Amino acid sequence: MKKLASSRYLFPLIVAAVVAVFLLLDNQIGLKALTITGSSFLEMLSVIPPIFILLGLLDVWIPREKIIKHLGEESRLKGIILSFTLGAAAAGPLYGAFPIAAVFMKKGVKFSNVLIFIGAWSTTKIPMFMFEMASLGIGFALLRLAINIPGILIMALILEHITGRELKQIIYEQATKLSE
């Protein structure tokens, strides 16, 4: 039991204990917490398996050399545009971007392109843009996009610059371990 409590399952165990206490003290709040947790779990269960299937296909079908050519250190503007496009065309919540980013890193994608991909996934998704145009107007949607795209690019380039080579190497090694 001591090993279990000191492992990576400590936080979920604490949350389960807190929910159990709420169930005992106030049944309404405890049931609501269980309902929300179950709903979130089912949502993740519907998103994660397709992402991991796509990751497996990406890892096997697309050679490392092709990825490096289009998204690697020498990709320049082409890599930036492709990173924005891949992130904007993505579907699903942001937590789906991180396993893909890990595979990209394993394949040798430039650090700033990984950051651009994650930034584009989080703020420039095509379905979100279409929804904003319909709901909030084309002016708002275009203005938000015009602000977000340079913002993502600037942040990615700054982070690329201030992150030292050693730290990037550690990040890439950890990403490789995760995607194995």
Please count the CA atoms within 13 angstroms of the CA of 85 that sit on its side-chain side: 8
The answer to whether residue 116 sits within a structural domain is yes
Its domain, for residue 114, covers 62-178
Residue 97 domain-assigned (yes or no): yes
Residues 5 and 72 in one domain: no
Pair 82, 36 in one domain: no
**How do the pLDDT tens digits run along the chain, 180 residues long?**
455 556 778 888 888 888 888 888 888 988 898 899 889 888 888 888 888 887 788 778 888 898 889 999 999 999 999 999 999 988 788 888 998 899 899 999 999 999 999 999 999 998 889 999 999 999 999 999 999 999 999 999 999 999 999 999 999 999 888 756
Looking at the structure, tell me whether residues 66 and 108 fall in a common domain: yes
Do 91 and 158 lie in one domain? The reply is: yes
User: In this structure, are 80 and 127 located in the same domain?
Assistant: yes
